[in-house]
Amino acid sequence: MSRTLSKGVGLLVAVVLLGVMWHLLQRYDLLTQARLSELIGYIRQWRTAPWMFAAVMAVYAGALLVMFPLSLLVIVTGLLFGPAWGAWHTPHSVR
C-alpha cells in the first residue's frame, strides 16, 4: 500500500471514529450544554483543592502522551480555572 493511500485510509478511519463518538455522546446526552455547564461548575469547586495541581499535571502528561494539542489544554485550563488560576495551574515545564 502506498504512503498516500495509507494516509487517506487513516484519515477516513479517524473521521468515521469521530462521527461515531459524536453520535454516541449525543445519544446518551453526554454532550449537552447543561451537562457541560454542570461539569464545569463541579470542576470549579475544586479550584482551591490541594491536590488540584497534581491532577492538572497528570491530565497534561496523559494528554501529551497521546499527542493532544498543548494549546487546547492551556485554553481549557484557563477557561476552567480563570486567567489567574489557569496560568498558575498550567504545568510550568510546558509554558
pLDDT tens across 18-76, in order? 889 888 888 888 778 888 888 878 877 877 788 888 888 898 898 888 888 888 888 88
How many other CB atoms are found less than 10 A from the CB of residue 35?
13
Residue ranges covered by each domain of the chain: 1-30, 32-95
For the cut 70, the answer to whether the pLDDT of residue 93 exceeds it is no
Look at the block and give the residue holding cell 497521546. Answer: 66
Give pLDDT, residue 12.
92
Contact 52, 89 (CB under 8 A): yes
DSSP character at residue 93: G
How many other CB atoms are found less than 10 A from the CB of residue 86?
18
User: 22 or 83: whose pLDDT is higher?
Assistant: 22
pTM of the predicted structure, to 2 decimals: 0.50
End-to-end CA distance of the chain: 40
Name the pLDDT band for 90 (thresholds 50, 70, 90). Answer: low
